[in-house]
Amino acid sequence: MTKLELLGNWYRRVWVEADPDAIDDYFAPRAGADGLMPDGQVSAEDFRALVPALLSLVRNLRIEVDRSIETDDWLWAQITVHATHAQGVQDIRASGQIMMRIEGDKIVEAYNAFDFITFFEQAGLLPEDAFLLLLSGERIG
């Protein structure tokens, strides 16, 4: 299995199929994912809480890999997340990037950058154009 296939299987089983048992199939026991939470790394146990929390906001989730590069133990991928708002018909489309190191068939470290502002705007949890409002110095909430 290529690194890109492993990533595709991770997204399909953990995120699209919402299978918490699959986390251990792809994520090494002491691995951590940076960039998803402001206070540090997300562990396998953290994913068991994070995945259902985010999935409760959407339905019809689909994750596309737009570009990728594999080199040695590393994979970099640019992704687009497509979904529908859980309570309506609004489309959600947000992008991100992931860089991960893989040993054997397990993710041992991962670095994420995801456009959560766009995601939460489209999920109806932030006002439209929240980023522009924040740039202008406007407080939200």
Q: Is 81 a residue whose pLDDT tops 90?
A: yes
What is the C-alpha to C-alpha distance for residues 44 and 117, in angstroms, rounded to an integer? 24
CATH of 3-135, one of 3.10.310.30, 3.10.450.50, 3.40.50.970, 3.40.50.300: 3.10.450.50
pLDDT bracket for residue 42 (50, 70, 90): very high
What mean pLDDT do residues 67-71 have?
Answer: 97
**Bridge partners of residue 67, in order along the sequence:** 78
At 103-115, the pLDDT tens digits run 999 999 999 999 9
> Which residues have a Cβ under 8 Å from the Cβ of 39 and sit 6 or more positions away?
none
pLDDT bracket for residue 23 (50, 70, 90): very high
Domain spans in the chain, listed from the N-terminal domain onward: 3-135
